[in-house]
Amino acid sequence: MKADLLNDPVFGMAAEQFDRVADFLELDEQVRERCKWPKRLITVSLPVTMDDGRTEVFFGHRVQHHLSRGPVKGGLRFHPSVNIGEVAALAMWMNWKCALMGLPFGGGKGGITCDPRTMSPREQERLTRRFAQEISQFIGPEVDVMAPDVGTTSQHMAWILDTYSTREGRFVPEVITGKPVQLQGSEGRTQATGHGVAFLAARALNKLGIPISKATAVVQGFGNVGSYAVSTMTDYGMKVQGVSDITGAIWNDDGIDPKALREHVAKTGGVAGFPDADAIDPDALLLQKCDVLVPAALERVITKDNAPKLKCRILAEAANGPTTPEADTIIENRGDIFLLPDILCNAGGVTVSYFEWVQNLQRFSWDKKEVLSKLETKLNEAFERLLSFTKKKKCSHRLGALALGVDTVANVKKTRGLFP
Ligand code: NAD
């Protein structure tokens, strides 16, 4: 199993990062091994009746990296490239993220290998409910709390909540986060990750002495995270000149209007063909001169090939694992890019998910202003903690963020003993 995981390129990358951090922290061998490997890897087969009457069998995965600090928390992804190694890597990163942010959770992640773009809403509902049914004995408010990720939305969370609650015979909103507000979802959850990315980009601009009103940005991905990052950065007065998604990339020197782009995407299914911008090669988009570059789509898009050619001042990693280890070394050696590492940059989502869980457990709700203000306080604390740690230890932002997370988990494991 260890070799299978290490052979997966995404898990291999997460493990390589972990080993670097463990060396840096001088973790002893016992704790190092316990921190590295996932506690539970669960794979279920999911027979689903398709609209044409066929039965198709999908595979769904859930990885609970560790349960030493509380229930695991993490998204559920629908994408054709989902596999157990990728899910395990994403679960490991969630650990360090929750610990860095001071949230009482371990890391989890799930995914179903499917292409939601080719499936009808009814097929997606049947698949989601089947997954919820198969996985329900392994999840729960004190064990594993899922949330949306690539290819899933609040509607998918509502189906999971309904399936789980029906099985339990009572309404259990605290089993899932990122659900619709009318099912006790949190105000502000939908925009939380993108809002957090924009907030931290603004804090980084401030540290670099770049006026926010003069700053430019490029965003790869216009889904949940990318679209709200674009809206919030635009609200702050920044000019978002380039945006891409799976359908193509667009550019406008004067900035792209997020509201008009959102309407275009709702109508056509993608950013390609947006009338108020020119088409641009998606690979070239990442290399345009800008103050803030936001990869907000998938993993491993900043590579050893494009890292030397980046012309951004800040790399705000909204996606999970967008930078390969080779690219990371190049960026570190260049020294001219302020990195906002993924486990901090996109932590807005899990932080508001935590707020949602707390509100559900208390049967209480906060308004959007309160949620976003509490989110900004938490993000700012983690940002400042990271900057003072990296200054003191003379290390990169990536290493510093991971080290703060790993150290917290390792200390809990040491204190509790061998079992957790
Ligand atoms: P999403 O499915 O809503 O959006 C993904 C976007 O990426 C879409 O616009 C899609 O068209 C685009 N995309 C896919 N392949 C692409 C390609 N090859 N080139 C350019 N664009 C491409 O997903 P999301 O929830 O916005 O998540 C995006 C990233 O952020 C993922 O890495 C996810 O793990 C991470 N993340 C999400 C959250 C959250 O709250 N949703 C929280 C933390 C991290």
| DSSP letters for 347-384 | THHHHHHHHHHHHHHHT----HHHHHHHHHHHHHHHHH
| Bridge partners, 58 (sequence order) | 46
52/84 same-domain check: yes
- The answer to the question of residue 183 being in a domain is no
3 state SS of 294 = strand
pLDDT tens string 241-292:
999 999 999 999 999 999 999 999 999 999 999 999 999 999 999 999 999 9
pLDDT band at 418 (very low <50, low <70, confident <90, very high): confident
Asked if residue 135 and residue 80 are part of one domain, the reply reads yes
Which residue, of 177, 203, 223, is where some domain finishes? Answer: 177
Domain limits at 49? 2-9+37-177
Q: Which two tokens stand for residue 376?
A: 């900004």
User: Terminus-to-terminus CA distance in the chain, angstroms?
Assistant: 20
**pLDDT tens, residue by residue, 133-180:** 999 999 999 999 999 998 999 999 999 999 999 999 999 999 999 999
Residues 197 and 341 in one domain: yes
Whether residue 81 is found in the same domain as residue 164: yes
Listed in sequence order, the residues at least 6 apart from 201 whose beta carbon sits closer than 8 Å to its beta carbon are: 217, 229, 233, 238, 292, 294, 314, 316, 340
In a domain, 205, yes or no: yes
CA quadruple 157, 257, 265, 312: dihedral sign: negative
| 116 alpha carbon – ligand 1 mean position (Å) | 13
Q: Is ligand 1 within 6 A of the CB of residue 405?
A: no
- The answer to whether residue 420 scores a pLDDT higher than 80 is no
Q: Look at residue 42 and tell me if it is in a domain.
A: yes
Report pLDDT for 325: 87
pLDDT of residue 358: 98
pLDDT digits 0-9 by tens, 222-248: 999 999 999 999 999 999 999 999 999
Domain assignment present for 400: no
**Could you tell me if 290 and 164 lie in one domain?**
no
Query: Could you tell me if the CB of 346 is within 6 A of ligand 1?
Result: yes
- Other C-beta atoms closer than 10 Å to the C-beta of 363 total 9
On whether the CB atoms of residues 146 and 160 are closer than 8 A, the answer is yes
CATH of the domain at 122: 3.40.50.10860
pLDDT at residue 419, rounded to an integer: 78
Q: Could you tell me if residue 336 is inside a domain?
A: yes
pLDDT of residue 4: 85
The token pair that represents 32 in the structure block: 């190092």
Give residue 2's pLDDT: 85
Q: Supply the angle between the helices 325-334 and 9-25 in degrees, to the nearest 10.
A: 50
- Token pair 């940059």 is at which residue? 345
Q: How far is the CA of 222 from the centre of ligand 1 (A)?
A: 7
Of 305, 325, 345, which residue sits at a domain end?
A: 345
Ligand 1 in reach of 98 Cβ (< 6 A): no
Here the CATH number for the domain that contains residue 201 is: 3.40.50.720
235 lies in the same domain as 330:
yes
pTM confidence score: 0.94
Residue 289 belongs to a domain: yes
User: Which residue out of 150, 195, 261 has the highest number of ligand 1 atoms within 8 Å of its CB and is therefore the one to mutate?
Assistant: 150
149 and 318 Cβ atoms separated by less than 8 Å: no
Q: What is the pLDDT of residues 298-339, one digit of tens each?
A: 889 999 999 999 999 999 999 988 999 899 999 999 999 999
**Does residue 197 share a domain with residue 159?**
no
Distance of CA 20 to the CA centre of its chain: 22
Do 322 and 199 share a structural domain? yes
Closest residue by Cα to residue 283 from 322, 321, 244, 253: 244
Any domain includes 26: no
- Ligand 1 within 6 A of CB of 123: no
How many Cα atoms sit within 13 Å of 252 on the Cβ side? 16
- Domain identity same for 84 and 160: yes
Please choose, from the candidates 114, 135, 134, the residue with its C-alpha nearest in 3D space to the C-alpha of residue 124.
Answer: 114
Confidence of residue 6 (pLDDT cuts 50, 70, 90): confident
SS3 content of the chain, % helix, strand, coil (to 5): 50, 20, 30
Domain finish residue from 133, 153, 177: 177
Mean pLDDT of 49-62: 98
Dihedral class, residue 238 (left if φ above 0, else alpha if ψ from -120 to 50, else beta): beta
Residue 109: active-site member: yes
> Residue 246 domain-assigned?
yes
Q: Which of 221, 220, 293, 299 is nearest to 14 (CA)?
A: 299
Same-domain pairing of 173 and 196: no
Tokens of 342: 């993924």
One domain, residues 170 and 309: no
Domain total of the chain: 2
Q: Do 161 and 114 share a structural domain?
A: yes
Residue type, 47: P
